[in-house]
Amino acid sequence: MTEVTPTLPDGHKELISDLYGIVSDYPYESPSAILGLLADDAADALDRIGTPQGRRERTGYTILLHTTCWYVAARVFSRSLFAAYTQALEGLRATLDPSSCTCAAGAHPADVDGEYGVEAGVSMLSEAGRAVFAEEYGLEGEELAAFDCEAFLAGLADGAAARMREAHEELFGSVDVSHLDARFLRGDEGIDIVALQEAIRRSWEDNTGPVALWSSRRWLASQVRDEERIGLFLSLWMGIAQTYDGLPPSYVRDLVAALDTIDPDASCEHPQHPWSATTHTASRYEAVVHLYAPEDHPDTPVPVELSARELWECPAHYAELARSAREIVQQWRHMRGEDAD
């Protein structure tokens, strides 16, 4: 009689491929959709915990949620996905009793992360998958059984849930940037626009987000003098435009609120405005610091015919800036899978 070689179900092969891309930070499809479905399937498995198949699924989904939670925490700005992951993890954890562990010291699987964690997790979902996994990695009975240990799984679930809670606060909570007052306010409480620009310029310090947020809150509080308005707004704009990986909702709320104070329909008869002369990051910096400290920064990309303060302060100029900044924020939301308003 010919021995049948165990194989993974086709759907599980596809799941491994999709999750490989995600944990490698090169997703092939929409990560939010794939991970949302994973969390929903994990939650559905709770109804089957009393069966052998349900217990296999508990092991597989706990490993998979653990292995992929870093991506949700670091790459996705979706409250609904955070909620789905948290609900699934808490549901799985409630079924686990760590005190039931009878494993020998050091018997629990180590480093179930990355592609190995994906392969292990998906394989644990079915008997055929387990057979394939055991054969591939040369696992004997007790070694394979250790993946089902409730103490091992509880540790994974607890660690993943803690990571999700911490990331949720960072992404959706309130960010305190009041400490930046000491850097960006002069002794007379005026705003040091040049200091703002210097901070944005130090891109290796990841300053763009905090500068944009500080600028937006200063703007919203009307704590800005007339002569500082365009410099502050440009610092807000540059903080947005030069944050290429996007900012989370904890930042975006105030950024958008500040942009929304600008009349989007403002118009004028000017053929051009000063910002149109800035074509790259360095030229933007030069334009703003020259505007506020021309003696220290004599070079500017803005030609004389566009340098009048009236052009800088034109309501239509502000409207152009606000529209382009909103477009960037919308791109972030699409890129990061943020929930629709």
The per-residue pLDDT for range 66-101, each reduced to its tens digit, is 999 999 999 999 999 999 999 999 999 999 999 999
- Report yes or no on 341 lying in a domain: no
Q: Is 105 left (phi over 0), alpha (psi -120 to 50) or beta?
A: beta
Are 337 and 71 in contact by the 8 Å Cβ rule? The answer is no
Within this chain, do residues 185 and 267 fall inside the same structural domain, yes or no? yes
Q: What does the pLDDT average to over 129-157?
A: 94
Within this chain, do residues 113 and 194 fall inside the same structural domain, yes or no? no
Chain segment 223-247, per-residue pLDDT in tens: 999 999 999 999 999 999 999 999 9
What is the CA 313 to chain-centroid distance, rounded?
A: 34
Look at residue 126 and tell me whether its pLDDT is greater than 60.
yes
Within this chain, do residues 146 and 216 fall inside the same structural domain, yes or no? no
Domain that holds residue 239: 178-335
Within this chain, do residues 54 and 107 fall inside the same structural domain, yes or no? yes
Q: What is the pLDDT of residue 340?
A: 65
Q: What is the pLDDT of residue 103?
A: 94
Within this chain, do residues 108 and 158 fall inside the same structural domain, yes or no? yes
Q: What is the pLDDT of residue 203?
A: 82
Among candidate residues 117, 145, 172, the one where a domain is terminated: 172
Within this chain, do residues 292 and 168 fall inside the same structural domain, yes or no? no
Q: What is the distance between the alpha carbons of residues 319 and 128, in angstroms, rounded to a whole number? A: 61
Among candidate residues 146, 172, 198, the one where a domain is terminated: 172
Among candidate residues 152, 172, 192, the one where a domain is terminated: 172
- Report yes or no on 1 lying in a domain: no
Look at residue 5 and tell me whether its pLDDT is greater than 80.
no
Within this chain, do residues 259 and 198 fall inside the same structural domain, yes or no? yes
Within this chain, do residues 152 and 263 fall inside the same structural domain, yes or no? no
Look at residue 341 and tell me whether its pLDDT is greater than 60.
no
Q: What does the pLDDT average to over 48-57?
A: 95
Chain segment 157-216, per-residue pLDDT in tens: 999 999 999 999 999 999 999 999 999 999 999 999 999 999 999 988 889 999 999 999
Within this chain, do residues 330 and 183 fall inside the same structural domain, yes or no? yes
- Report yes or no on 232 lying in a domain: yes
Within this chain, do residues 163 and 203 fall inside the same structural domain, yes or no? no
SS3 state of residue 244: coil
Within this chain, do residues 232 and 197 fall inside the same structural domain, yes or no? yes
Within this chain, do residues 114 and 249 fall inside the same structural domain, yes or no? no
